[in-house]
Chain A
Amino acid sequence: MTFLLFAEQMLNGLQFGIMLFLMAAGLTLVFGVMGLINLAHGSLYMIGAFAAAWVAGLTGSFVLALMASLAAAAAAGALIELTVIRRLYKRDHLDQVLATFALILILSEGTRWVFGSFPLYLDVPSYLSGPVTLPGGIQYPLYRLAIIVAGLVVAGGLFALIARTRIGIQIRAGEADREMIAALGIDISRLYTLVFALGAALAGLAGALVGAIQSVQVGMGEPVLILAFVVIVIGGIGSIKGALVGALLVGLTDTMGGVLLPRFFALFMDPSAATTIGASLGSMLIYILMAVVLIVRPSGLYGSA
């Protein structure tokens, strides 16, 4: 395999990882602060993508589309939190899983009802399309590079928010001791709604950004959701640092595995069998990784026991 191909795949893995981080960050925040497991997070990703595609179709502006995705996802998140999620904080995990699974059904079918079954298309804006030449002679799509940069900026912003702002302190306190922050007179319900909406916005943004590369369709959030769960389990539930490390690990493993394994198998198998087995094993690889991490470190890499 050539260096160029390898580097390109590494960048793809990085881009995938960053997107997974945006999803995982929201998920792990909600779990860390509110103790809630939210399966409907993938639906928020989808809502962000649909909002972006719709607005882009209306206005032709990618920037407006991104803003729409943030707004729509955050609004949807806030609405869901106010009506459903806040009844679930005191319930056990089974109830949370079932209720948010119900939300997936409602949101997915609801979106299909509004937009129909055919995928929408979100186009990469002209000023971000085309390849760019990186050091080493690597040709890489500008848009994907932009995603990586955008993702890193958001990650940085998130870390700054958590570490340096009042809201951030409240969030960290909430993660450490939920009852205490209520006792300290902080408006818990407002904080929770805010955290949930923030996570939703991140998911929506991820959906919009990825929507330009893949198609925007109902159910697009589900494979990503599952992976995001794998990420936070590997990284440690409640840890944003863990989410970042886990996301990059999963993103790179998935991409490189999908590329390297078929080639590895092709060394001693015929090409078509190698591709199928390699791709298949590549998809399984992440779950194998998660199982191994759980067995060795049951609370994940950065989680607290």
Chain B
Amino acid sequence: MTRETYINAALTFLLVLVPFWAWSTGQAYILTLCTKVAILALAGVGLNIALGLGGLVSFGHAAFFGIGGYAMGILASHAQVFDPIAEWPILIEGTKSMPVIWLVAMVSSALAALLIGVLSLRTSGVYFIMITLAFGQMLYYFTIGWPAYGGEDGLSIYVRNSFPGLNTLVPVQFLILSYVVLGLALWFSARLARSSFGLALTAARQNADRVETVGIAPFRLRLVAFVISGAITGLAGAMFADLNRFISPTMFSWHTSGEIMVFVILGGVGRLYGPVVGAALYILLEHLLGGVSDYWQIFLGLLLLAVVLFARGGLIGTLAGREVAHG
């Protein structure tokens, strides 16, 4: 077992311990915080597939986060008032069922990622960063000017959506649901990294010429990675919208893209549990320091700067040392 595996195990233990303690002492607020960590970590897991495995510096992943959120917002808001989304040519009604919403969120994000990917992956380097940023901004301005769903002010969804067999309004139940989804995503991400696809993708990140000369097209690898990545971040967006029962254009903003990237980097880019640690650190800072000072983001900035300049591997990288090659 490598050091990283031990660290991951310890983290899992902590992640279960903290909410358990909170639940047994009746602190619903902490349960909600843990849920927030799980959902933001999920967004980071999505990005990590494109960024960590694929080396694609997407500064517009908020596009997918927002699409997932708005998928939920559109479906739920229409269902709330029993008003169909469209009546012609086929009847599309809203829904407040999480599984359906999640499916729609993931499919729409995947399609958006396919379109954005096909256009953006023809560029590289700083142009890729800029064009992904641009697409995120496009959607941001689009939703600001979309009065039907709140425009700039956003939209509240009054009742949390439902999941068969659960009462999702109970914090611990929603928490467990989010943990399960995060766990599945982590499991998938781990399998992906060790698969043929993962090998070829990480090879393409290191040396695209090498991949071409063995007869594999890097563009196709990156596009598939981008689509998968977008779908997972989209799912996180839908869940985030449910957590806050609120959607707004800021879900699309480049600040959000930056924040998701911060989670991944703080934890360790390319590391399986990187986004989990990063999201936890971020929420911890927000609530511990935020309580002390209104200007806690200065400390976040300093921490991020320190990590980038001196501890490039993030927290997991610093603790676990260099990544051990699989197999």
A–B direct touch in complex (beta carbons closer than 8 A): yes
Q: Which of the 9-residue segments A146-154, A206-214, A279-287 touches chain B? A: A279-287
Partner of B133, one of A87, A103, A110, A226: A226
A206 to B: closest C-beta gap in Å: 20
Q: Is the interface of A mostly helix, strand, loop or mixed?
A: helix
Chain B residue nearest to A276 (CB atoms) is: B145
| Contact residues, B268-290 vs A (CB, 8 A) | 269
Determine whether the beta carbon of B129 is less than 8 Å from that of A37. yes
> Once A and B bind, how many residue pairs between them come within 8 Å at the CB atom?
115
Q: How far is the CB of A258 from chain B (nearest CB, A)?
A: 11
**What distance in Å separates the Cβ of A284 from its nearest Cβ neighbour in chain B?**
5
**Chain B contact residues: helix, strand, loop or mixed:** helix
Q: Does B297 interact with chain A (Cβ within 8 Å)? A: yes
Chain B, 128-165, CB within 8 A of any chain A CB:
129-131, 133-135, 137-138, 141-142, 144-147, 151
A87-122: CB near B (< 8 Å → 1, else 0) gives: 100010111011101111110111011000000000
Q: State whether the Cβ of A124 lies closer than 8 Å to any Cβ in chain B.
A: no
In the complex, which range does the number of interface residues on chain A fall in?
35 or more
Q: A303: shortest Cβ distance to chain B, in Å?
A: 9
Nearest CB of chain B from residue A107's CB, rounded to whole Å = 8
Is A11 part of the contact surface with B, judged by Cβ < 8 Å?
A: no
A127 to B255, alpha carbons, bound, how many Å?
40
Contact in complex: B304, A98 (CB < 8 Å): yes
Per-residue contact bits, chain A 201-222, to B (CB 8 Å; 1 contact, 0 not): 0000000000000000000000
Q: How far is the CA of A299 from the CA of B130 in the complex (A)?
A: 12
Distance in angstroms from B71 CB to nearest chain A CB is: 19
Query: Taking the complex as formed, is B127 at the interface, i.e. its CB lies under 8 A from any CB of chain A?
Result: yes
Bound-complex Cα distance A287 to B138 (A): 6
Given the known A-B contacts A93-B57, A98-B265, A283-B145, are A233 and B122 also in contact in the complex, defined by CB atoms under 8 Å?
no
With both beta carbons as reference points, the residue of chain B lying nearest to A37 in the complex is identified as: B126
Per-position binary interface string of chain B over residues 36-68, scored 1 when its CB falls under 8 Å from any chain A CB and 0 otherwise = 000000000000000100000101000000000
Closest 9 CB pairs of A and B: A280-B145, A105-B301, A283-B141, A106-B301, A102-B304, A102-B305, A287-B134, A287-B138, A102-B301
A residues within 8 Å of B by Cβ?
A: 31, 37, 84, 87, 91, 93-95, 97-99, 101-106, 108-110, 112-113, 226, 229-230, 233, 237, 276-277, 279-281, 283-284, 287-288, 290-291, 294-295, 298-299
Interface residues of B (CB under 8 A from A): 51, 57, 59, 119, 122-123, 125-127, 129-131, 133-135, 137-138, 141-142, 144-147, 151, 254, 258, 261-262, 265, 269, 295, 297-298, 300-302, 304-305, 308-309, 312
